[in-house]
Structure 1
Amino acid sequence: MNKVTFMPVTQMLKPQKNTKTHTYTPFEAHRSFSSVLKNSIEKINEAQIQSDKMTEKLARGENVDLHQVMIASQKASITMQAALEIRNKVIEAYQETMRMQV
């Protein structure tokens, strides 16, 4: 059975002294990737929902600070833009891989 070896992202962000990698089966790697993708999309959705709620409160005249509404709106916008850029880079990498001759 083929095994995929990679270092968890949390370890890559820390300074490394003794680098240890964990070997995952393809199924485990797929499940790990899908859970990271799902969590990321959920966070983007939560930021959008929070921004919408705060905007609605401001529009109804409830006691909400304008700067808090703007901050929530910008956070939602930035997370969406980052997700779109990541998606574009993944698609670009996939297309480049498909162009490679074997």
Structure 2
Amino acid sequence: MTGIEPLAAITSSALQLAGPMSSSTPVAGASGFGDLLVRGLQNVDAKIGKADALMQSFAKGEPIPLHQVTLALEQARMSVDLAMEVRARLVEAHRDFMSMQV
């Protein structure tokens, strides 16, 4: 035994053994998990921005109903809470994955 092979060498030899890749192309509009997370965070950011803008407009005395401001603030809070829960679950899954015996 000569030692541990670099990961790139192992990956390339495994791909050679696997044979040619399938020629199927990804479905149009399909996105990965990372894209889903990015869109979710952009949505949270948009809700926070909307709530902030409504709150500032209300504070300036513009004719904005209080219930709209309250609703926007609550939607932003719930979005942040959901994002934090997703983050906690992802961190927990990562820890579980890293502690697995191989």
- Total equivalences in the alignment: 78
Q: TM-score, normalised on structure 2?
A: 0.69
Distance in 2, matches of 1:69 and 1:78, equals 14
| 1:61 is aligned to 2:64 | no
Q: CA deviation at 1:45?
A: 0.5
Question: After the TM superposition, which residues 74-93 of structure 1 pair with which residues of structure 2 at under 5 Å, given as runs?
Answer: 74-93=74-93
The equivalent of 2:71 in structure 1 is 71
Relative to the length of structure 1, the TM-score reads 0.69
- Listed as ranges, the matches of 1:11-90 within 5 Å are 32-90=32-90
CA distance in 1 between partners of 2:72 and 2:43 (Å): 13
**Structure 1 runs, 4 residues or longer, greater than 3 Å off:** none
1:37 and 1:47 map into 2 onto residues whose CA distance is 15
Residue 81 (structure 1) shift: 0.4
Unaligned 5+ runs, structure 2:
1-14, 19-23
Structure 1's unaligned 5+ residue stretches are 3-22
Specify the SS of the correspondent of 2:32: helix
For 2:34, give the aligned amino acid.
S
